[in-house]
């Protein structure tokens, strides 16, 4: 006489996931806007159009003499630093080496503008 054993019942894995807060769309879009301003500024410099690049600065003229036609952004990151200001860091590769740039942007009369920036050449 054969004895049959019922198969164990399958149990469903829990479907609930821990709640992860969604980033604020306003903060995210402004931070993305700050990164876009920096990308545009660097692109103008790579094209050799220093006058167009100066339009992204709140004051002064571009001082990145290392930017050339072969320059490209390896990575870019932005974050809010409060008070309507954003900090954007960019890793840029040029024909003369790799540079790390930091920008601070603030809302100006015509939108986000670069108020300060500096670059350091990677060793």
Per-residue pLDDT at 22 exceeds 60: no
Is residue 19 situated within a structural domain? Answer: no
Residue 29 has pLDDT above 80, yes or no: no
Which stretches of 15-119 are DSSP H helices?
25-47, 50-54
The CA–CA distances, whole Å, from 35 to 25, 30, 45 equal: 15, 9, 15
Q: Express each pLDDT in 54-100 by its tens digit.
A: 999 999 999 999 999 999 999 999 999 998 999 999 999 999 999 99
Residue 13 lies in a domain: no
Q: What is the mean pLDDT of residues 87-114?
A: 95
Number of domains, the chain: 1
Coil, helix or strand at residue 14: coil
| 74 in a structural domain | yes
Residue 2 lies in a domain: no
- Alpha-carbon span 103 to 101, nearest angstrom: 7
Looking at the domain assignment, is residue 10 inside a domain?
no
With a cut of 50, say whether residue 18 has pLDDT above it.
Answer: no
Compare 21 and 38 and report the one with higher pLDDT. Answer: 38
**Tell me, what CATH number does 72's domain have?**
3.10.450.540
pLDDT at 49 exceeding the cut of 50? yes
pLDDT reading at 10 higher than 80: no
Q: Which residues form the domain of 46?
A: 27-121
21: in domain: no
Cα dihedral 34→38→43→45 (10° resolution): 150
Is residue 3 assigned to a domain? no
Examine residue 9 and state whether it is found in any structural domain, yes or no.
no
């Amino acid at each position: 006489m054969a004895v049959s054993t019922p198969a164990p019942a399958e149990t469903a894995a829990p479907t609930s996931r821990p709640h992860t807060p969604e980033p604020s769309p306003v903060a995210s879009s402004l931070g993305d806007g700050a990164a876009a301003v920096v990308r545009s500024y660097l692109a103008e410099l790579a094209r050799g159009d220093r006058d167009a690049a100066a339009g992204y600065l709140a004051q002064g003229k571009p001082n990145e003499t290392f930017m050339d036609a072969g320059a490209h952004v390896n990575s870019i990151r932005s974050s809010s630093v409060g008070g309507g200001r954003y900090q954007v860091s960019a890793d840029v590769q040029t024909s003369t080496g790799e540079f790390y740039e930091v920008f601070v942007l603030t809302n100006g009369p015509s939108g986000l503008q670069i108020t300060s920036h500096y670059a350091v050449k990677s060793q």
